[in-house]
Amino acid sequence: MPIPVVWSPETRRHEPMREVWVGVPTDGTELPERVDRILDGLGNQPRVEAVVHGDEVLRRVHAEAFVDHLRTVHAEWLAGPYDDLVGQDRVAPYVFPTPAMTQGMPLTRATATHGRAGQFGYDTMTLVGPGTWEAARAAVDCALTAVDLVTNGAESTAYALCRPPGHHATRDGYGGSCYLNNAAIAAQALRDADAGRVTVVDLDAHHGNGTQAIFWERDDVRYGSVHVDPGAGWFPHFFGHAHESGSGQGAGATRNLPLEEGSEDAAWLDAVRELAQFADGTDALVVSLGVDAAAEDPESPLQVTADGYAAAGRLLGSLGVPAVVVQEGGYHLDTLGGLVAAYLGGHEQGSNG
């Protein structure tokens, strides 16, 4: 049975325009066109438009103050003097109340919108514009609709074409082109539907620090990831090392498999195989499907091929459990759709085998 593609036209509404990286405004890479390129690549699979869901699961994963901030901050920015003052309409942080500033003291709410921007956003690349909230919220609906399809028994696997991606978003903040953590919300929704133990397997080229953080101290949702080694200088820099394995109740429930730059299918698939073993015995699976580990991708130095993604799909599909596949990164427009199709084709094959 072909895997249904859950999508929403609303996810096109976020236009990053630019990303400030090491002080330099660069062109955004997480473009609305990604949605259409992926839809084109999945032309033969049934499409399901996302159903609007309430905020219950969203608010179990993200803090209320953060969600409210994301929902309202762009309108506040427009109401402020910024468009005249700085001539641009994107919410961009400039001061970050990290521990270097707070030193353990309690924070008082910043009254200025440009002050508050740095409380909930943790990098300079991830700006908030008109439509960012609507797109991020629609991506959550894609994830939740995909969960519904597998929990009501209509499908064993569903694919959520989420955009913007989510795996860098933490309980309290956004970053890394991510605003709301679609995969974490899917995992929580599976838990809430009594799907049993859930494992998130993250194939994006970058470590999903947000998902890891959300489930760090939990053992009911496990998190495993293969990604380019942050220790070799790659985003998210501070997380994704092999020694990070969870804490408290969640001790041992996190697995990180960082790879050297230039790693190809063989090494990447060895890691995916290890993640499939890590997930063995799970009752349900969430796959954070970033296809930016592909050789052509401009954002990662990994060298995975479409055949590699298909083989990864077979490995995870053969776990034979209900699965929600959530789109994360992947930025090379010409190959994006084919890579997603390759993974899903493999997953379907594996689950039938």
Q: Which residues bind ligand SP5 (CB under 6 A)?
A: 19, 21, 26-27, 29, 125, 165, 168, 176-178, 204, 206, 235, 290, 292, 299, 328-329
Interaction of residue 206 with Zn ion, rule CB under 5 A: yes
Which of ligand SP5, Zn ion, none sits in contact with 27, Cβ below 5 to 8 A by type? ligand SP5
Of positions 210, 236, 240, 290, contacts Zn ion by CB under 5 A: 290
Near Zn ion by CB under 5 A: residue from 141, 148, 292, 348? 292
Contact 290, 201 (CB under 8 A): no
Per the listing, tokens 């908030």 go with 128
* CB within 8 Å of 279: residues ≥ 6 apart: 199, 201, 222, 224, 285, 316, 319
Q: What does the alpha-carbon distance between residue 145 and residue 160 come to, in Å, rounded to a whole number?
A: 8
Instruction: Please check whether residue 347 is in contact with residue 157, taking contact to mean a CB–CB distance below 8 angstroms.
Output: yes
- Of 82 and 234, which has the nearer Cβ to Zn ion? 234
Of 272 and 319, nearer to ligand SP5 (C-beta) is 272
> Pick the catalytic residue: 168, 206, 332, 347?
168
CA dist 145 and 140 (Å) reads: 9
| Minimum distance from residue 332 beta carbon to ligand SP5 (Å) | 12
Euclidean distance between CA atoms 286 and 59, whole angstroms: 19
Question: Among residues 150, 123, 135, which one has the least CA distance to residue 34?
Answer: 135
Tell me if 204 contacts Zn ion by CB under 5 A.
Answer: yes
Give me the 312-331 binding string for Zn ion, x by CB under 5 A, dash otherwise. Answer: -----------------x--
Partner whose binding site includes residue 177, from ligand SP5, Zn ion, none (CB under 5 to 8 Å by kind): ligand SP5
* In the complex, least distance from residue 288 CB atom to ligand SP5, rounded to whole angstroms: 9
- DSSP three-state, residue 202: strand
- Name the minimum Å distance from CB 329 to ligand SP5: 3
List of E strands, the chain: 5-7, 18-21, 24-27, 47-49, 157-160, 198-202, 221-228, 254-259, 284-289, 323-327
Place of tokens 């499907």: 289
165 contacts which partner out of ligand SP5, Zn ion, none, CB within 5 to 8 A by kind? ligand SP5
CB of residue 237 to ligand SP5, shortest distance in Å: 10
Considering CB under 5 A, how many residues would be counted as binding Zn ion? 6
For residue 230, what is the DSSP state? G
- Closest residue (Cβ) to ligand SP5? 329
Binding pattern for the stretch 72-111 against Zn ion, x by CB under 5 A and - elsewhere: ----------------------------------------
> Which among Zn ion, ligand SP5, none contacts residue 325 (Cβ within 5 to 8 A by kind)?
none
- Neighbouring residues of 37: CB distance < 8 A, sequence distance ≥ 6: 333, 334, 336, 337
168 is catalytic: yes
3-class SS at 46?
coil
**Least distance from ligand SP5 to the Cβ atom of residue 42, Å:** 19
Site string for Zn ion, 232-271 (x = CB under 5 A): ----------------------------------------
Residue 48 and residue 164: Cα distance in Å, rounded? Answer: 18
User: Which runs of E-coded beta strand occur in 39-168?
Assistant: 47-49, 157-160
Q: Among residues 168 and 222, whose Cβ is nearest to ligand SP5?
A: 168
Would you please indicate which residues are annotated as catalytic (active-site) residues?
A: 168
Residues at the interface with Zn ion (CB under 5 A): 204-206, 290, 292, 329
